[in-house]
Amino acid sequence: MKFVDEGYIINCRKHGEKSLILTVLCKHYGKVCGYVKAGVNKRNLATYQLGNLVKIDAWSRVDDNMLSLKVELITPHAVNFLDDAAKLRVLSCLCSLSTICLPELQPLDRFYYWIESFVNLVDEDNWIVHYSFLEFYLLEFLGIGLDLSECAATGATDDLEFVSPKSAKAVCRTAGEPYKDRLFKFPHFIVDNNYNPSAMEVADLLSMTEFFLKKNFFAIHNLKFPECRVNLAQIVENT
């Protein structure tokens, strides 16, 4: 196997004295994990940072072997996160969730767009909104997306105001009002492609995506939910 691609570094760990095991979310090949020989040196230290956009040359003599990688820095996005604790935590969430949830060497298709948008727009005032879109579409990519098309109770397609934690389907105001304390808020800003929602709307969405990720992916696969992602909705209150 041999290919060239570009993508964002989401995991980097030392291997032996001077080498690295690197994981990159790539535009065409999805999550790529490979071996970087002699990657630990002062000259390359700034390259192997989470969030950086890099070009990779990947190859292996046998398809079942771990890929070997040659890495070239394209854009040092990591510097846009390091001076902001909230942004750094959210980057850690993206990297942890992607490392655990995404399959290797499978195209990310449109989900790559949401990763790209978040990283490139992290200096915008509404950067956390772009991340919330990313998590919403992560559910869809994993096959556990929400059904927001009609009310689960009545079949109505208008006045949708809630989401059921049991069915992951929308619920209209009339049917859901008596049970609103047990339901999630309907994410109108996602459906309307509104990138300027209130902080509370974003917090509600992140609480909901956390719930469904835990219930419908991590619990099913007996995986530990990343500690950095727990209660991330609280970040919104301070952004």
The rounded distance, in Å, linking the Cα atoms of 17 and 12 is 14
Which residues belong to CATH 2.40.50.140 in the chain?
2-79
Q: Which residues contact 222 (CB under 8 A, 6 or more apart)?
A: none
The reported pLDDT for the residue numbered 239 is: 60
Mean local confidence (pLDDT), 47-70: 91
3-state SS string over 16-34?
Answer: CCCEEEEEEEECCCEEEEE
The rounded distance, in Å, linking the Cα atoms of 134 and 199 is 16
- Per CATH, the homologous superfamily of domain 2-79 is Nucleic acid-binding proteins (2.40.50.140)
User: Are 91 and 228 a contacting pair, CB within 8 Å?
Assistant: no
The reported pLDDT for the residue numbered 100 is: 97
Tens of pLDDT along 200-209?
999 999 999 9
Tens of pLDDT along 65-78?
789 999 999 999 99
User: Are 139 and 146 a contacting pair, CB within 8 Å?
Assistant: yes
**Burial environment of residue 213 by CB neighbours within 10 A (0 to 12, 13 to 18, 19 or more):** buried
Sign, CA torsion 190/191/196/197 = negative
- Give 156's pLDDT tier (boundaries 50, 70, 90): very high
Q: Please, what's the largest Cα pairwise distance for the chain?
A: 63
Cα–Cα separations (whole angstroms), residue 97 to 46, 105, 134, 135, 201: 23, 16, 11, 9, 22
Q: What's the mean per-residue pLDDT of the chain?
A: 94
Helix (H/G/I), strand (E/B), else coil: 138: helix
The reported pLDDT for the residue numbered 238 is: 65
The reported pLDDT for the residue numbered 224 is: 96
pTM of the model: 0.93
DSSP 8-state code for residue 198: -
**To 10 degrees, the CA torsion angle through 134, 81, 50, 113?**
30
